[in-house]
Amino acid sequence: MLKVLGLTVLLSFSGAVLATSVADSHTEMAGCESCHQDGAPSSDMAYENETCISCHGSMKELEGDAHKQHDGVITCSDCHVVHEASPASGSCTSCHQP
Ligand code: HEC
Ligand code: HEC
Ligand code: HEC
Ligand code: HEC
């Protein structure tokens, strides 16, 4: 019981975004098909990025400067590496000089 409790506390401190990847959280909600057509990745991820927008809205509708500054410039998966448990905020330096 104590062990179970300890794990729960650890997970809630590290935060849901870090504890599990976006792909895992979404697969749990609605399966691989929630983002991949027939569950199989496309070659250019255009289909996948359309699914993000259909559920969350476009970048100009989303909260936060990171979204509004990139509306029409880049796509969701340029920052959200959804199969990795890493925060999107870590992606900035891959395009901008630190
Ligand atoms: C939240 C939407 C989402 C879900 C759910 C999801 N994926 Fe993905 N997947 C992506 C995106 C976006 C990429 C592009 C790389 C990245 O951002 O991680 C990708 C990449 C992939 C790739 C690599 C393709 C390549 O060409 O590099 C495979 C394989 C894959 N997904 C399989 C799966 C499987 C199997 C599941 C279910 C267990 C799944 N995905 C669930 C969005 C998703
Ligand atoms: C079928 C609808 C649906 C699709 C498609 C979808 N999402 Fe989500 N997403 C949700 C829901 C529901 C939640 C949980 C509630 C919330 O935070 O809005 C969520 C949560 C999130 C979160 C918060 C962290 C987490 O893992 O829960 C991020 C980041 C996210 N989505 C990004 C994306 C990205 C990027 C894509 C496309 C690759 C995508 N979503 C596709 C419905 C969707
Ligand atoms: C310029 C990079 C960037 C792009 C492009 C981007 N995001 Fe984000 N997004 C972030 C950052 C940074 C956060 C803050 C949390 C983090 O660091 O993961 C965030 C947070 C989110 C959240 C809330 C996560 C939570 O913890 O509740 C959702 C949902 C989300 N983004 C969806 C999207 C969708 C859908 C798209 C495409 C339409 C998109 N994002 C494009 C950088 C980006
Ligand atoms: C995939 C590449 C890419 C990623 C990742 C990325 N950006 Fe950008 N960003 C761009 C491009 C392209 C522009 C538009 C051209 C420009 O103004 O440099 C831009 C514009 C901006 C601007 C507006 C700059 C201006 O002069 O108006 C800011 C601020 C910014 N990004 C911050 C961020 C932050 C913070 C992150 C991480 C959350 C991030 N970017 C991630 C490519 C990226």
Q: What is the pLDDT of residues 67-87, one digit of tens each?
A: 999 999 999 999 999 999 999
Q: Is 3 in the pocket of ligand 4 (CB under 6 A)?
A: no
pTM of the predicted protein model: 0.91
d(CA 95, CA 78): 10
Q: Is 46 in the pocket of ligand 2 (CB under 6 A)?
A: no
Residue of higher predicted confidence among 9 and 26? 26
- The domains of the chain are located at 17-89
Give the closest residue (by CA) to ligand 4 atom 23: 69
Asked if pLDDT for residue 1 goes beyond 60, the answer is no
CATH superfamily of 17-89: Flavocytochrome C3; Chain A (1.10.1130.10)
Instruction: Confirm if 36 and 25 have CB atoms less than 8 A apart.
Output: no
- Tell me the CA–centroid distance for residue 89 and ligand 3, in Å: 8
Residue of higher predicted confidence among 2 and 89? 89
Question: C-alpha dihedral over 39, 62, 72, 92, to 10 degrees?
Answer: -90
pLDDT tens across 34-70, in order?
999 999 999 999 999 999 999 999 999 999 999 999 9
CA angle 84, 88, 79 (to 5 degrees): 90
